[in-house]
Amino acid sequence: MSAVPLAARELAIARGSRTLAQGVELELRRGEVVALLGPNGAGKSTLLATLAGLLEPAAGRVERGGRVAAALQAPALARRSVRANVEAALAWWGVPRDQRRERALTALRALRVEQLAERPAAALSGGEARRVHLARGLALQPDALLLDEPFAGLDAPTRAELLHDASTLLRAPERATLLVVHDRAEAWALADRVAVLLDGELVSGPTAELLEQPPTAALAGFLGFSGELREADGASVRLRPGHVVADPAGPLAGRVTHRIPEEDGLLCELELEDERGLLQLRLPHPGPAAGELVRVRIDGGVRIAAGAR
């Protein structure tokens, strides 16, 4: 049994004649959960379909050290009962007939949808369909499980509930799991490692490291480091709103150019004096008026040297 059930080597992916990414290197090891992030249209679903063997690589190769199953983005359930849907997937996977029912029900129970087993799949709510879809993938017990946005299209409470359940279920010592996620909160909650597909390249690293210390300006921008402080040597410090603290004795000052009221406070955009850059910070309601001068200090952020992309 290989410790790496799925790996991409020098992989290029394409949809139609358009190459979406190349030079993709990725190893999925047993027991780990990897989150795949990227802007819309970057090719996350294409990468997943290529890793699953549904699309041919445009170049490079996909190495499989075990069986790979993919749960695609649409829950795509056939017009049959929930249990029949899970059992059909087990049949395709090659599970003997006499074991299918038990395995299907076990997986449905794990996702707390066992009571829906005999319902027609067409009658499920969005959240229920997502749970059944996930149960179907888990029931197969593949060596590598690929999940494309398993929480897409759910309202906030339903999503939070499923995220809560998934955080324990997705972790299994014998299985490698790759999931395309929609936002950083899902990556934080679920993944040991994060891979970001941006501008045709895949960058990966341990979750906390990559999300807190993105190596390039483009990655920092995508990962929510929206503020930029230009330094004298040409380097820049990229900052999330949480890295900027209002402080009357702070070394920097800027004028408020935008005010966006939010649940947790007022998100202010500051234009720093001396053209040092633009920052965002969150202040308690009601906060300063537009045009007001605010003094701040920096606490955190990531420094990107001059010349680094």
- Provide the phi-psi class of 273: left if phi over 0, else alpha when psi is between -120 and 50, else beta: beta
Q: CA-CA distances (angstroms) from residue 250 to 137, 259, 277?
A: 52, 21, 16
Contacts of 127 (CB under 8 A, 6+ apart): 154, 155, 158, 161, 162
Instruction: Name the one range near other proteins by CB under 8 A: 52-60, 256-264, 278-286, 299-307.
Output: 52-60
- Could you give the CA distance from residue 242 to residue 296 in angstroms, rounded to a whole number? 12
Residues 37, 69, 296, 302: which binds other proteins (CB under 8 A)? 69
Q: Which is nearer to other proteins, 71 or 187 (CB)?
A: 71
User: Is 8 a residue that touches other proteins (CB under 8 A)?
Assistant: no
Q: How far is the CB of 124 from other proteins (least distance, A)?
A: 10
Q: What are the start-end ranges of the H helices in the chain?
A: 44-51, 82-93, 97-110, 126-139, 156-169, 184-190, 207-212, 217-222
- Could you give the CA distance from residue 13 to residue 181 in angstroms, rounded to a whole number? 19
User: Is 67 a residue that touches other proteins (CB under 8 A)?
Assistant: yes
- Could you give the CA distance from residue 112 to residue 194 in angstroms, rounded to a whole number? 28
Q: How far is the CB of 72 from other proteins (least distance, A)?
A: 5
Q: How far is the CB of 86 from other proteins (least distance, A)?
A: 10
Q: How far is the CB of 152 from other proteins (least distance, A)?
A: 12
User: Is 42 a residue that touches other proteins (CB under 8 A)?
Assistant: no
Binding mask 76-115 for other proteins (x = CB under 8 A): xxxxx-------xx-xxxx---------------------
User: Is 15 a residue that touches other proteins (CB under 8 A)?
Assistant: yes
Structure token pair of residue 137: 């993938």
User: Is 122 a residue that touches other proteins (CB under 8 A)?
Assistant: yes
Residues 3, 54, 185, 305: which binds other proteins (CB under 8 A)? 54
User: Is 177 a residue that touches other proteins (CB under 8 A)?
Assistant: no
User: Edge-to-edge strands of the sheet including 176-180?
Assistant: 68-71, 144-148, 176-180, 33-37, 193-198, 201-206
Q: Which is nearer to other proteins, 151 or 222 (CB)?
A: 151
- Could you give the CA distance from residue 47 to residue 13 in angstroms, rounded to a whole number? 6
Q: Which is nearer to other proteins, 123 or 306 (CB)?
A: 123
- DSSP helix, strand, coil percent of the chain (3-state; round to 5): 30, 35, 35
Residues in 237-296 that interact with other proteins by CB under 8 A = none
Of 38, 57, 302, 54, nearest to 195 by C-alpha is 38
Q: How far is the CB of 50 from other proteins (least distance, A)?
A: 10
Structure token pair of residue 4: 């790496």
**Size of interface with other proteins, in residues (CB under 8 A):** 33
Beta-carbon count within 10 A of 243 CB? 21
User: Is 16 a residue that touches other proteins (CB under 8 A)?
Assistant: yes
Of 214, 172, 193, nearest to 36 by C-alpha is 193
User: Is 123 a residue that touches other proteins (CB under 8 A)?
Assistant: yes
As a three-state string, the secondary structure of 81-101 is EHHHHHHHHHHHHCCCHHHHH
Instruction: Name the one range near other proteins by CB under 8 A: 3-11, 100-108, 132-140, 278-286.
Output: 132-140
Binding mask 137-156 for other proteins (x = CB under 8 A): x--x-----x----------
Interaction site with other proteins (CB under 8 A): 15-16, 45-46, 49, 52, 54-55, 67, 69-74, 76-80, 88-89, 91-94, 120, 122-123, 136-137, 140, 146
